[in-house]
Amino acid sequence: MEEIYVIDHEKEEARKIGNLSENDTIEIKKNKTPKQLAIINSKTQLGKLEQELGGYVQVYYVSQRLLYDNIPIDKANITRFLYLATYIDYDNREPNLLVIKNKKNELVPMTRKDMQIVMKLSKGQISKFLKEMKDNNLIFETSNRFYINDNYATKGKMKKDNDCTRLYINPIRNLYENCTSREHKLLSYIYQLIPFADYNTNFITINNEAANIKTIMQLLGLSTNNKNAVNKFKKKMLQFHITYNDNEYYLFGAITREYANNTDTRLVINPRVLWSGNNLRISNKIFEDLMLK
């Protein structure tokens, strides 16, 4: 006969609750509070959503600072780099190795030729891209294998104490594969705003204040000298969209709502493309607002 005790770590004491014979079994039940059940349900729903979106890559950034603004790379290559990051292998195999499926549906290391094909770049473009990535330590090549620097993006265990966001794989690939190489720079403007996306809502905020189109253009170093330039920029940003469950949604949206006698237009990045938060109720509402009417 063995004695059974419950350990109370807060009170630092043990309490005897009974005896256990050789053929006895123990069944432990713990009632969960509504708040605990809500958290578990939210995590389950988030996991399901992540699976639907093909999983995600964690992208690291410095808060309130344009993504990679301190790295001297072509803006179009920001879009290309983030697209390529969706091909990172999980860290339980070979951390940050770029992989691709072969004809047998097996994951194998991505070659330079594979990279050129999936990125839809010419030989000259892929050469310039790789040189810029290597020169700035964003990509490493060892024994003909390519690796993403895990200070910028990873797939698997998250780095502690780093600001990061989830970059959902299927939407990121869909965006890239449905735009031309000339549009990569335009798309990079949205990606550069990642560090300014509110944790839960993805609204663009600068110093805790909602940013309008003009403010964002100035942040990106673009001219706002005339109204036509502002309208043209807005139109270009709204050209990007994703498809989800047979519906189309904006990648970048301007949402206008009425408050008392005022209207407030705020700019937001689609949380089904990239998102840091965990509040699915808010995320779902923002996502619905971004459906193409």
Who has greater pLDDT, 220 or 14? 220
Closest CA to 81 of 194, 166, 191, 164: 191
Whether the per-residue pLDDT at 113 is higher than 50: the answer is yes
Calculate mean pLDDT across residues 28-34. Answer: 60
How many angstroms separate the CA atoms of 8 and 185, rounded?
58
| Cβ atoms 104, 218 nearer than 8 A | no
Strand partners, 274: 167
At residue 26, the pLDDT reads: 60
Calculate mean pLDDT across residues 226-231. Answer: 90
How many angstroms separate the CA atoms of 28 and 8, rounded?
15
Q: Which helix (H) or strand (E) segment is 112 a member of?
A: helix 112-119
Task: Kindly report which listed range (233-247, 255-269, 276-290) carries the lowest average pLDDT score.
Answer: 255-269
The angle that helices 112-119 and 76-85 make with each other, rounded to 10 degrees, is 120
How many angstroms separate the CA atoms of 185 and 157, rounded?
30
How many angstroms separate the CA atoms of 86 and 233, rounded?
27
Which whole-number Å values give the CA distances from 53 to 47, 98, 182, 237, 268, in the listed order? 10, 19, 26, 22, 19
